[in-house]
Chain A
Amino acid sequence: MLLIPCPICGARPEAEFTYAGEAHIARPVDPAALDDHAWGEFLYARTNPKGDHAERWRHTHGCGRFFNALRNTHTDRFTASYLAGATRPHGTPTTESLDAPAMRSETEQWGQA
């Protein structure tokens, strides 16, 4: 059973966690502006690398937080974990996500119901 490093609770057994897919795939700020291909890529295209993979986990049976971790898909070892919204460590700048919510929270982005 893997030990997964929760950035809040520390290393805990895998059974406490839920996997939540690849990290740093930001939900587009204005989905309507994307053409079908781009939206399809957002929904379904994933990098599936051999090596370090930035992925989302939730410490479901613990603090309940979603966080990001780097796991080597070849060795199945975690090399880093960090809070959701933080930049991916070890280089590789990300397109997401710290500043994006502020932009998105504007009501006009969402329109009035």
Chain B
Amino acid sequence: MSIRFSFDGRTYQGEPGDTLASALLANGVRLMGRSFKYHRPRGPLAAGSEEPNALVEVDRGGGARTPNLRATQVELYDGLVARSQNRFPSLGFDVGAVNDAAAPVLSAGFYYKTFMAPEGAWAKLYEPLIRRAAGLGRAPEVADPDHYASRYAHCDVLVIGSGPAGLAAAVGASQTGARVILCDEQPRFGGSLLSDRNARIDGMAAADWVAAQVGTLAARPDVTLLTRTTAFGWYPDNMIGLAQRLTDHLPDPDPALPRERLWQVRAKQVVIAAGAIERPLVFSGNDRPGVMLADAARTYAVCYRAAPGRRAVIATTSDTAYRAALDLQASCVEVALIADARQVADGPLPAAARAAGIRVETGMQVLATRGRRGIRVAIVGHVDADGRVRSREWVRCSLLGMSGGWTPSLHLFSQSRGKLRYDATTETFLPGESAAAERSAGACRGVHGLEDVLLDGAMAGSAAAHDAGFDAPGPVRRRVEGAMAARWTAPVPSRRKQRRAFVDFQNDVTSKDLLLATQEGFHSIEHVKRYTTTGMATDQGKTSNMNALSIVAAELGRPVPAVGLTTFRPPYTPVTFGTLAAYSRGVLFDPVRTTPVHGWAAAHGAVFEDIGLWKRARYFPRGSEGMHGAVARECRTVRAAVGLFDASTLGKIEVVGPDAAEFMNRMYVNPWTKLAPGRCRYGLMLGENGFLLDDGVAGRLAPDRFHVTTTTGGAPRVLALMEDFLQTEWPDLRVWLTSVTEQWAVLAVQGPRARDVLTPLVDGFDISAAAMPHMSVAVGSIGGVPMRLFRVSFTGELGFEVNVPAGHAMAVWEALHARVEALGGCTYGTEAMHVLRAEKGYIIVGQESDGTATLGDLGLEWAIGKAKRDFVGKRSLNRPDMTAAGRRQLVGLLTADPGYVLDEGAQLTAHAPPPPGTRSLGHVTSSYGEATLGHSIALAMLADGRARRGETLYVQRAGGMVPVRVVDPVFLDPEGVRLNA
């Protein structure tokens, strides 16, 4: 059965089990991408997740387009549509390749040096150009149509990687009864065993042994097996992030399935069996399509039956590449030459290669390659110990398999904050001291040879289960045949001063760039990394870090560990935003809070605004009214008759207990002891630093009970602060705090007819001015519904706030609304509320005040209980800066043109235009158009503002300055006649 897929618009056939890279190679396509900076033609370097070159985008249509996928990990399915990236107009002919010709000037630090000046040109000119010319895939343009899942999991032992070490560890750990999760980024378990055609384990072929182990694990009830699952990040206290790909490999996935799932696994113990990554060799032209890691070439030939070339040269510094040569030869690839940089190669694998008739040359290195869109010739030569080239030979080939040894995969270990240890014999970093409850097993900790790796894994699994509290039997040594031991030696240093010898393939960093960086004085590897960008691409330097480090160390003449290794950061491979967000999209990301009146308001045409998470009705337009018309009408109606307003979002806290008044005394600036039940106060709360934190009316319902209101946004903060003091500073106070914001709906009736609205509705109690004066509270009922009735005003008018249980709010609202309409009133929204309160000079915390405003600045000192020795913030009021001259004080501003509305936030100056260097005298905090007073109004915070009343100042506006007169901030009814009606 063959699979049809398309790449850059051309249709090809592949086989089940193929990756996009293996299928393209099988079709003779080697060119899969253009490089990041120089637009050089590139093919796959690797066969797994470390691939730096072959990045593609996969398009499923309907906006489901994913860029920057590694072709080596894209599983083929029928109808797959993939495209190459970073090329124009086509992959074969890319005009950006002119960068390659310009390479001598595009050296390390080029952007830093060239695009410094002129100021501003970077954002406008250079950056867009560079972003177009250099870069990776195109970002999606529409919202991701897929959905994603997320779950938490707990286990005793998490095993990361299912090669021989990981499988053995999972089997060993789970036989103790421990809960085990085994994950692997590949579609199948087995890792390197899947491409091992030689080894036999316990008498079984490697692949059969894998199947038997997976069968054993699957039969154990406490084992979770996760393929296509990348352990991408290590977070504190052994929380590991796993990204599981669920549908990307399916030709026609069920739309009900999530595309990917985020696992947040809290593991008691972790076994890292991440294996090792082969190291490229650094020589001129080591990036031509057809040049790849030797083991990747072997994997393509053996696993995928996709020989990446007909005639191969193998260049190596260690024995494992001989295994690749032998397997390639067995897959009908002609191996023309093994060029071994070591002076001696006499292990069993080199012997086997010689016996198979392969030409083996020691002391030989690749000097350069030739070929336009892929390698055609390898230029090799004998190089002596001083780096002198003694011979030169051209070898025709279409595949060059290179191996600079193996780099243990330390990403997760390093992320777990484990300390790295340098092994000078193999010139590798290995896991050293652990910082988390983890252990490494197998090749990722430098253990080689299949038998040793299997034993190492089994031991790690047993030990992990033991440390997780399980009785673990000793590990079993497996009998392994047919795996020839590979000799591990230090890599041969590369010849340094070569052109186009790539170290970081994905970020196009060459050995010359690294040398230039050291010459320019960058001696720390962290600085070299940032200057050259080596190791900073999406592949996290998987194939480049060690080569970069050894080149820099050699150039500086210092040992490798003295130069240091850069930090590994999550994610191991890129993770989609969809996976990280999972369910947190739309209202699940940003929840919406609505009041009980919300549905009614929506049905009556309200325009809403967001206040924190709340939706609040901003105004209720009628007919063709715009916002200004509606707000002006609502304001006039409140002043002339009555308005109905939904204030349910107000924060509400019930403060109860024998020491409630004492607690209020300490938390608020106001005096509460003598406040009689049935009376209210406008409470002001400071931070301990003396600045205004929150305000709101509090009513005393009983000697031991206060109904405290807070600002809409401040409720959680105020309750947390109260709890903090109560729990930690005054645990002796007998006070209990309860948030009742959601329990009480608040329906405000404001205006000269407010009492007329309520009188027939309240159940048998007196709300006359004598019985319920301004700032009083009564408990009763309205239409049979329990009610706390506050006589308070945030408009300057006679006002009541009807508090009823939220579940009854709509019935009460409907009754109030009928009365309001009958008396010529209307509903009003937050915008009219803002205008009405500003006309009266009432502040809004966070609008007039900004966290540096004192009560003195805001003209609210009258609220302070002078007899109190202490309250939160009191001591700070006497700090010198709090009383110094020049503080900004609340004032009103009037414009000469009554129709002109100042910009909120605009700055105030004494002269127009202000001379250069003038400091602002203050700023406009609130500004509204004409509503009920016949002119626009503004509030401002102005330096020494109260002393400046009567002065003319200037306010900035687009295109000039506007003169303003400084006035008292109370524009309406300063005597409070309307309020106390």
A-side interface residues toward B, CB under 8 Å? 1-3, 14, 18, 20, 27-28, 30-32, 34, 36, 39-40, 43, 56, 58, 60, 64-66, 75-76, 84-85, 97, 101-102, 104-105, 107, 109-113
Known: A1-B237, A110-B868. A105 touches B730 (CB 8 A): yes
Known: A2-B237, A113-B868. A18 touches B673 (CB 8 A): no
B662 CB within 8 Å of chain A: yes
**What is the minimal beta-carbon distance from B661 to any residue of chain A, in angstroms?**
8
B662: chain A residues at CB < 8 Å are 107, 110
Interface of B is mostly: loop
15 contacts between A and B (CB under 8 A): A1-B235, A1-B239, A14-B236, A18-B720, A27-B688, A28-B875, A31-B870, A76-B236, A101-B731, A104-B729, A107-B662, A113-B670, A113-B865, A113-B867, A113-B868
A65: chain B residues at CB < 8 Å are 727
A75 to B417 CA separation, bound complex (whole angstroms): 9
A40: chain B residues at CB < 8 Å are 879
A58 to B865 CA separation, bound complex (whole angstroms): 31
A28 to B872 CA separation, bound complex (whole angstroms): 11
A111 to B266 CA separation, bound complex (whole angstroms): 53
Known: A1-B237, A1-B264, A31-B870. A112 touches B727 (CB 8 A): no
In the complex, the chain B residue whose C-beta lies closest to that of A97 is: B728
Q: Which of B866-881 contact A (CB under 8 A)?
A: 867-870, 874-876, 878-880
Q: Are B237 and A111 in contact (CB under 8 A)?
A: no
Q: Are A58 and B724 in contact (CB under 8 A)?
A: yes
**What is the minimal beta-carbon distance from A79 to any residue of chain B, in angstroms?**
13
Q: How many A-B residue pairs have CB under 8 A?
A: 94
Q: Are A64 and B671 in contact (CB under 8 A)?
A: no
A56 to B673 CA separation, bound complex (whole angstroms): 31
A1: chain B residues at CB < 8 Å are 235-237, 239, 264
B239: chain A residues at CB < 8 Å are 1
A101 to B733 CA separation, bound complex (whole angstroms): 9
Partner of A102, one of B417, B688, B732: B732
In the complex, the chain A residue whose C-beta lies closest to that of B238 is: A3
Q: Are A105 and B733 in contact (CB under 8 A)?
A: yes
Q: Give the number of residues in B that approach A within 8 Å (Cβ atoms).
A: 40
- Chain B, residues 860-895, CB within 8 Å of chain A (1/0): the string is 000001011110001110111000000000000000
- Chain B, residues 234-276, CB within 8 Å of chain A (1/0): the string is 0111010000000000000000000000001010000000000
Q: Are B879 and A36 in contact (CB under 8 A)?
A: yes
A58 to B717 CA separation, bound complex (whole angstroms): 13
B674: chain A residues at CB < 8 Å are 113
A18: chain B residues at CB < 8 Å are 720
A28 to B874 CA separation, bound complex (whole angstroms): 12
B689 CB within 8 Å of chain A: yes
Q: Are A66 and B688 in contact (CB under 8 A)?
A: no
In the complex, the chain A residue whose C-beta lies closest to that of B665 is: A113
B666 CB within 8 Å of chain A: yes
- Chain B, residues 332-354, CB within 8 Å of chain A (1/0): the string is 00000000000000000000000
Known: A58-B724, A84-B727. A113 touches B235 (CB 8 A): no
A34 to B879 CA separation, bound complex (whole angstroms): 11
**What is the minimal beta-carbon distance from B719 to any residue of chain A, in angstroms?**
10
**What is the minimal beta-carbon distance from B345 to any residue of chain A, in angstroms?**
46
Partner of A58, one of B236, B720, B869: B720
Q: Are B720 and A3 in contact (CB under 8 A)?
A: no
**What is the minimal beta-carbon distance from A33 to any residue of chain B, in angstroms?**
9
In the complex, the chain A residue whose C-beta lies closest to that of B435 is: A75
B733: chain A residues at CB < 8 Å are 105
Partner of B874, one of A14, A31, A84, A113: A31
Known: A1-B237, A107-B662. A27 touches B867 (CB 8 A): no
B723 CB within 8 Å of chain A: yes
**What is the minimal beta-carbon distance from A57 to any residue of chain B, in angstroms?**
11
Q: Are A20 and B724 in contact (CB under 8 A)?
A: yes
In the complex, the chain A residue whose C-beta lies closest to that of B235 is: A1
A109: chain B residues at CB < 8 Å are 869-870
In the complex, the chain B residue whose C-beta lies closest to that of A104 is: B730
**What is the minimal beta-carbon distance from B739 to any residue of chain A, in angstroms?**
11
Partner of B875, one of A39, A58, A97: A39
A8 to B227 CA separation, bound complex (whole angstroms): 39
**3 tightest A-B CB contacts, nearest first:** A113-B671, A111-B869, A31-B875
B790 CB within 8 Å of chain A: no
Apart from A3-B236, A65-B727, A85-B728: 14 A-B pairs, beta carbons within 8 A: A1-B239, A1-B264, A3-B237, A27-B688, A30-B869, A39-B879, A40-B879, A76-B236, A101-B732, A102-B732, A110-B665, A110-B868, A112-B867, A112-B868
B688: chain A residues at CB < 8 Å are 27, 43
